[in-house]
């Protein structure tokens, strides 16, 4: 779309081929046609070419179409098309200059291998923002495998949204031909795992005590244990050398920590009865300390390309607005936002340290807080009409008191809402968020964005 991309500029980087289809006329002798210049389907004229209406019901059709070059006054017969196609693919320079299509395809195929365009495997660790159905297979209260969840996907899948997750969309942008499957699905076995696996679990956190209010979740340590099993499967399938190469160039996405704040620190009496009340700073320090061990463990298992996502502004989700109406007022619950900011500051320092400690690896820091804030504070410019209430709602001024369930009311146009339910974005919001993660500047993704990471080959 650049104004300078005109004229000869559009030919740069392309192979321009000229096919001498019409400049080199067939002769009956050369191709063995009985009639090289007359129409098979004819109504008038020495060569059957006088009627401008081409071949009509009143026309006379030759008995053996294989002996005629032309079907009607304008178009070749099937036999002629076969000959033309053969020349298109395999003709010499008299027919196709400077190379034919078969040669060009071979060059493009080799170029693909040389440029390393093979798609990487993608492994996803996280909570309900990235879950694609693992909780369908465990006894938990944190699940979404029922309507109206998945209303625009065509069915409930276990995703906590109306359609796709953020990294479903990013995977499609990568060029993946299918969504990364959940680890616990029975079909996630064999060669399927070579393309990647999603371990995310709704309600999961960095700390093993997080998410007790849901009875059961698969927290980060459990997700890493599951990856160990996948890694062994990969080793068995392709051997140690190929497995090392696959893992070193795979994309490892990790999005954790928000449930440690929402469903641990902010509800300690319910979630962690034995927890001694500590300051937010001390609590977050303990969370980050554990996170460091987990990311280091993932590195020891062969991961080299990391995408680590920080916390969104938790005080601005419909749930927090409704359970803290006095503190939130007409805006966000700032205390929750402050804790999220504390987590983010310590996480960014950790990512910087890991980039220094592990040469030959790269850890991306995705500033979800800034991305969410940018979109929700300027929602109209992104095409949204609502950025503070749930589309799927049953109770609360912002629809934030009860999760999305069959009795809930669903907004008719999901593309106008940022939030799907009390906690999670809609598919429309996820599309915008994904665009920032893929192509955003260093204010949003640091030190490089995900598209740049995708093109980086690791030793």
pLDDT of residue 51: 64
pLDDT of residue 44: 78
pLDDT of residue 120: 96
**CA separation for the pair 211, 223 (Å, rounded):** 14
pLDDT of residue 39: 83
Q: Could you give the C-alpha distances from 73 to 59, 78, 102, in angstroms and in order?
A: 12, 14, 31
Q: Does domain 122-455 have CATH number 3.40.50.1110?
A: yes
Q: Is 96 helix (H, G, I), strand (E, B) or coil?
A: strand
**CA separation for the pair 280, 316 (Å, rounded):** 18
Note the pLDDT tens digit of each residue in 388-412: 999 999 999 999 999 999 999 999 9
pLDDT of residue 20: 46
Q: Write the CB contacts of 254 (distance below 8 Å, at least 6 apart in sequence).
A: 125, 126, 220, 295, 298, 306, 307, 308, 309
**Catalytic residue ranges:** 128, 421, 424
pLDDT of residue 439: 97
pLDDT of residue 11: 35
With beta carbons less than 8 A apart as the criterion, state whether 157 and 165 touch.
no
pLDDT of residue 33: 58
pLDDT of residue 29: 43
**CA separation for the pair 155, 144 (Å, rounded):** 11
pLDDT of residue 58: 75
Task: Pick the closest to residue 303 from 162, 439, 121 (CA basis).
Answer: 121
**CA separation for the pair 194, 28 (Å, rounded):** 55
DSSP letters for 427-452? HHHHHHHHHHHHH--TTTEESS-HHH
pLDDT of residue 101: 60
Helix, strand, coil % over all residues of the chain, rounded to 5? 40, 10, 45
pLDDT tens per residue, the chain (459 residues)? 555 544 434 334 444 444 444 444 444 444 555 666 788 888 778 787 776 556 877 788 888 777 766 788 878 877 666 776 666 666 666 665 666 665 555 444 344 433 445 799 999 999 999 999 999 999 999 999 999 999 999 999 999 999 999 999 999 999 998 999 999 999 999 999 999 999 999 999 999 999 889 999 999 999 999 999 999 999 999 999 999 999 999 999 999 999 999 999 998 545 455 455 789 999 999 999 999 999 999 999 999 999 999 999 999 999 999 999 877 677 899 999 999 999 999 999 999 999 999 999 999 999 999 999 999 999 999 999 999 999 999 999 999 999 999 999 999 999 999 999 999 999 999 999 999 999 999 999 999 999 999 988 775
pLDDT of residue 12: 40
Provide the residue ranges of all domains of the chain, joining segments of one domain with +: 122-455
DSSP letters for 305-368? EEEEE----GGGSHHHHHHSHHHHTTS--HHHHHHHHHHHHHHHHHHHHHHHHSTT-EEEEE-H
């Amino acid at each position: 779309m650049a104004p300078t991309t005109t004229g000869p500029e559009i030919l740069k980087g392309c192979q321009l081929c000229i096919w001498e289809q019409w400049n080199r006329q067939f002769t009956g002798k050369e191709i063995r046609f009985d009639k090289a210049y007359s129409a098979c389907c004819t109504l008038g004229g020495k060569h059957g070419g006088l009627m401008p209406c081409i071949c009509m019901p009143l026309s006379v059709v030759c008995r053996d179409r294989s002996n005629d070059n032309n079907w009607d006054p304008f178009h070749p017969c099937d036999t002629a098309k076969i000959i033309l196609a053969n020349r298109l693919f395999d003709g010499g320079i008299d027919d196709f200059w400077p190379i034919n299509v078969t040669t060009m395809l071979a060059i493009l195929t080799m170029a693909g291998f040389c440029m390393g365009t093979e798609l990487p495997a993608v492994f996803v660790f996280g909570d309900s923002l990235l879950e694609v159905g693992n909780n369908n297979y465990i006894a938990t209260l944190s699940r979404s495998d029922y309507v109206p969840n998945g209303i625009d996907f065509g069915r409930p899948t276990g995703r906590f949204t109306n359609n796709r997750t953020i990294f479903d969309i990013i995977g499609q942008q990568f060029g993946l031909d299918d969504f990364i499957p959940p680890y616990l699905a029975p079909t996630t076995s064999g060669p399927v795992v070579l393309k990647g696996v999603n371990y995310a679990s709704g309600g999961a956190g960095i700390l093993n005590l997080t998410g007790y209010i849901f009875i059961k979740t698969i927290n980060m340590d459990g997700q890493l244990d599951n990856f160990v099993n996948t890694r062994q499967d990969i080793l068995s399938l392709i051997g140690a050398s190929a497995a090392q190469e696959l893992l070193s160039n795979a994309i490892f996405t990790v999005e954790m920590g928000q449930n440690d704040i929402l469903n641990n620190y902010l509800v300690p009496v319910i979630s962690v009865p034995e927890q001694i009340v500590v300051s937010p700073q001390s609590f977050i320090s303990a969370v980050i300390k554990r996170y460091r061990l987990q990311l280091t463990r993932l590195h020891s298992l062969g991961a080299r390309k990391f995408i680590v996502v920080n916390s969104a502004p938790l005080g601005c989700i419909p749930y927090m607005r409704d359970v803290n109406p006095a503190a939130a007022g007409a805006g966000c619950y700032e205390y929750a936002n402050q804790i999220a900011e504390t987590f983010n500051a310590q996480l960014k320092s950790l990512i910087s340290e890991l980039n220094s400690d592990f040469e030959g690896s790269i850890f991306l820091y995705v500033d979800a807080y800034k991305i969410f804030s940018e979109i929700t504070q300027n929602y109209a410019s992104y095409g949204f009409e609502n950025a503070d209430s749930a589309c799927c709602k049953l109770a609360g001024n912002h629809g934030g008191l009860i999760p999305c369930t069959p009795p809930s009311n669903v907004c008719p146009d999901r593309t106008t809402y940022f939030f799907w339910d009390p906690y999670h974005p809609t598919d429309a919001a996820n599309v915008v968020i994904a665009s920032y993660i893929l192509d955003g500047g260093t204010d949003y993704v640091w030190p490089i964005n995900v598209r740049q990471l995708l093109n980086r080959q690791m030793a």
